[in-house]
Amino acid sequence: MPGRSDTPILPLDHLALRGADDDAALILREGVVSWKDLRSRVARLAAWLAQEVPANGARVASWAAKGELTCLLPLAAARAGLVHVPINPLLKHAQVAHILADSGARLLIATPARLTTLGEGDVPHDCRTMAEADALAAVAELGGALAPSIADPDDPDDLAAILYTSGSTGRPKGVMLSHANMWLGADSVADYLDLTADDRTLAVLPLSFDYGQNQLFSTWYAGGCVVPLDYLMPRDVVKAVERHGITTLAAVPPLWVQLTELDWPGETSAKLKRLTNSGGALTVDLVRRLRALFPAARLFPMYGLTEAFRSTYLDPSLVDTHPTSMGKAIPHAEILVVNDSGAIAADGEEGELVHCGPLVAHGYWQDADRTAERFKPAPVGSIYGGTAVWSGDRVRRDADGLLYFVGRRDAMIKSAGNRISPQEVEEAALATGLVVEAVALGLADERLGQAVHLVVRAAPGATSAQEDLPRKLMQELPNFMQPKVIHWREAMPIGPNGKIDRTGLQAELAA
């Protein structure tokens, strides 16, 4: 099991108890939800869920945009003794079908438009589907005050959520997160960001992401208010900051690039007290632009992986002098650099980043083989011991204890804050029957971090493949997985092992 913490751990739904009755907890399109109202809504939703899915530990999936349901469901499912499976609204039917089948979800709540995209065989026979509005209407008919939590506070390792994330190979895998993982994650971020009950967080990151959910949890842990936003244009973010008096904004590098290209009124940019970055490293130039545009805001660059939530953050006081550093371990995390001999690396020596402590997830859902590859015993010398996440990322630590990213061991593509499995893109291309070979690669891109490039060889007789493949991929893959460029080849390069030379292709396209 992951390492333990001395911090008291409560069931996740107790986050609904953190704020003062009359203060705002959540601002939706429909209006302001006070903390008192938040508690009653969570209680009603939990009661309805327990009635609809009475099996303790059953999985309940959501596939909808940000709103009352997606914000309250993580707490309500925990209270009902269920496990929440949030699905990225950008995914399409093939990915959703895999998640529903793999998780064994018993109930899927989604928007009607998304439900209509699911075809025969996409929903398991023992999984019910319900439109979001119908579910909320059924919940509204229930009365009752705050009910006792069903989750046992003496067993913080009970499963609370499964978050699906792409691996470097194969289909998305479900990361198992306990009440302890998510409670301590909220405590950690609220601590180092110094969040208070006066703060308002603009939640622009997807709630299906670990840090996207933490936008809710860390703010509520501090007794603050969350304003969820599904923005269409970057300008929408500026307007929301102004309208709601936002103090805290988390984003990924591509969005920061877009936001720095806008004209921000001085009084609007001054409202922001802290900026947090995840989903990719900030460039030195982008750090300077953010500091110039938001001089009063503290900038928090961060590094993390879903298997352990966050791992490190850079103290804002060091951003100007050490803009390329990943910083140091966040509260409740122990970060070690392990060299190729298995020993703790010396200062300046490159090694693998290993995350130990109680933020470490409980492995991959029903996937013992892939769990064993990533979740291993903590290195000798770990304070926490137990199970650690061996990230595969290469880093080095300087004499001051600051960490610096060196490279990624696996082939994961990280585009616009999304982790993309090359194999998943390749399988979608091959499934069209238009190509017989496909290689997906990530190439450096100024706006996306990495852009997906797809190298393919057409199937014999597929005379219209170049016109048809992009259209087919649009039908099967979410927008963030779409290749920016498709490269057509008469033959693929072959390496010494007889396999397609991915390294050579990467070097050729990057040249």
Mean pLDDT of 35-62: 94
Q: What mean pLDDT, rounded, does the chain reach?
A: 92
Q: Residue 114: what pLDDT? A: 97
Whether residue 40 contacts residue 54, with contact meaning beta carbons closer than 8 Å, is answered with no
Q: How far apart are CA 205 and CA 225, in angstroms?
A: 16
pLDDT tens, 221-259? 999 999 999 998 999 999 999 999 999 999 988 889 899
Give burial (CB, 10 Å; 0-12/13-18/19+) of 214.
buried
* Domain harbouring 467, CATH code: 3.30.300.30
Crossing angle (nearest 10°) for helices 179-192 and 210-221: 70
What burial letters (b/e) apply to 142-156, b meaning 16+ CB within 10 Å?
Answer: eeeebeebbbeeeeb
Q: Residue 498: what pLDDT? A: 65
Give the residue among 154, 12, 175, 8 at the shortest CA–CA distance from 80: 12
Q: Is residue 78 part of a domain?
A: no
Q: Say how many domains are in the chain.
A: 1
Whether residue 477 contacts residue 166, with contact meaning beta carbons closer than 8 Å, is answered with no
Q: How far is CA 441 from CA 41, 204, 281, 438, 487, in A?
A: 45, 27, 19, 10, 11
Q: Residue 6: what pLDDT? A: 77
Mean pLDDT of 17-41: 95
Range of the domain at 439: 413-510
**pTM (2 d.p.):** 0.87
Contacts (Cβ under 8 Å, ≥6 apart) of 192: 300, 313, 330, 331
Q: Is residue 36 part of a domain?
A: no
Q: Is residue 425 part of a domain?
A: yes
Q: Residue 8: what pLDDT? A: 86
Q: Is residue 472 part of a domain?
A: yes
- The residue to which tokens 């900030």 are assigned: 282
Q: Residue 26: what pLDDT? A: 98
Q: Max alpha carbon distance in the chain (Å)?
A: 68
Using DSSP bridges, classify how beta strands 449-458 and 435-445 pair: parallel, antiparallel or unpaired: antiparallel
Q: Is residue 403 part of a domain?
A: no
Q: Is residue 448 part of a domain?
A: yes
Q: Residue 496: what pLDDT? A: 64
Residue 407 has pLDDT above 90, yes or no: no
Mean pLDDT of 54-73: 96
Q: Residue 380: what pLDDT? A: 92
Residue 35 has pLDDT above 60, yes or no: yes
HEC profile for 145-169?
A: CCCCCCCCCCCCCCEEEEEEECCCC
Residue 349 has pLDDT above 70, yes or no: yes
Quote the DSSP letter at residue 378.
Answer: P
Whether residue 64 contacts residue 31, with contact meaning beta carbons closer than 8 Å, is answered with no
pLDDT tens, 148-205? 555 454 588 999 999 998 654 557 899 999 999 999 999 999 999 999 999 999 999 9
Q: Residue 149: what pLDDT? A: 53
Residue 236 CB neighbours (<10 A): 13
Residue 1 has pLDDT above 80, yes or no: no
Q: Which two tokens stand for residue 314?
A: 């850079």
Q: Which two tokens stand for residue 227?
A: 């304003």
Q: How far apart are CA 193 and CA 186, in angstroms?
A: 11
Q: Is residue 450 part of a domain?
A: yes
Beta strands in 223-286 (DSSP E): 225-228, 248-251, 274-277
Report percent pLDDT > 90 for the chain: 78
Crossing angle (nearest 10°) for helices 253-260 and 234-244: 80
Q: Is residue 484 part of a domain?
A: yes
Using DSSP bridges, classify how beta strands 387-397 and 403-408 pair: parallel, antiparallel or unpaired: antiparallel
Q: Residue 145: what pLDDT? A: 47
pLDDT tens, 458-507? 998 999 999 999 999 999 999 999 999 999 999 989 876 667 888 899 99
Going by pLDDT thresholds of 50, 70 and 90, the confidence category of residue 147 is low
